[in-house]
Structure 1
Amino acid sequence: MQLAAASGLMGLFFVVVAAGLLALLAGGFWMNSRIKYREPPRPRPEEQPHLPPDGAVHEIRENREPDEIPHIPKGGRPLTPYELTNMHTRPSASKDRPRWSKGSSGSFGGGGLGAH
């Protein structure tokens, strides 16, 4: 019974915890205002990006194909990934979109029915 009885010490503990939480919250607001004060000001309307003089830039669709991997002469050692340069691409002469198989996008979980 004595443990279940209310004591003034327990009430004081809750008041101290609540005061600590309020101090943390106030400190967070204070730190946020300091960080915002150091940020550069928002751009003015005349500093916003504008469309180019020619108007909006439109999307260009083209098929690209990779450069060929260098061939190794017979008896030569294979190239390591570090010896290969960045693989560049070039425009493809073909205008057909590459497809893996009919009705499939080629990706796992692409939403198609798969090869049946």
Structure 2
Amino acid sequence: MSSASMQVAASSGLLSVAMFVVGVVLVTILAGSFWLGARIKQRELPRPRPDEQPHLPPDGPVHEVREYREPDEVPRMPKGGRALTPYELSNMQTRPSTSKERRRWSPGSSGSFGGGGLGGH
């Protein structure tokens, strides 16, 4: 736009009217969104009453079972025997450990691969 058309628009108040109309449109959209949100909320199910809340089982809370498990041993091949392929190995299961002592990481090891420690030496 040229400066002459800007002067005409400013003197006639067209720019002020346009800003006012944009403001009214924004306020109308906000009010409509609040109205629509209220209508949607009215259609929702009511909140459950205290007697409809879940209750504990009759024998009390359920606690976790903590046990230590160890894997089955991988079959060892005799000297000179051929190596087993993955298809010949069974699905490796675990069994409860005979030791009830909690296992700890070895000193100086982070316990993870690539953790930056020296590893178990």
**TM bucket, shorter chain:** 0.5 to 0.7
The residue that corresponds to 1:82 in the other structure is none
SS of 1:36's equivalent?
Answer: helix
Q: Which moved more, 1:13-22 or 1:89-98?
A: 89-98
Cα shift at 1:24 = 1.4
How far apart, in 2, do the equivalents of 1:55 and 1:34 lie?
42
The residue that corresponds to 1:114 in the other structure is 117
**Is the Cα contact below 8 Å between 2:108 and 2:117 reproduced in 1?**
yes
Length-normalised TM-score, structure 2: 0.56
**Is the Cα contact below 8 Å between 2:69 and 2:94 reproduced in 1?**
yes
Cα shift at 1:48 = 0.7
Length-normalised TM-score, structure 1: 0.58
- TM-align CA RMSD: 4.0
Cα shift at 1:19 = 1.1
How far apart, in 1, do the equivalents of 2:40 and 2:72 lie?
49
Equivalent of 1:32 in 16, 31, 37: 37
Amino acid at match of 2:19: F
How far apart, in 2, do the equivalents of 1:109 and 1:42 lie?
50
**Is the Cα contact below 8 Å between 1:101 and 1:115 reproduced in 2?**
no
Q: Deviations over 1:51-70 (max 9, x none)?
A: 2222222232222456789x
Return closer, same or farther for 1:10/1:55 CA change in 2, 3 Å cut-off.
Answer: same
Count of aligned pairs: 106
The residue that corresponds to 1:11 in the other structure is 16
Return closer, same or farther for 1:68/1:57 CA change in 2, 3 Å cut-off.
Answer: same
Structure 2 residues without counterparts, runs of 5 or longer: 75-81
Looking at secondary structure, tell me which structure has more helix per residue: 2
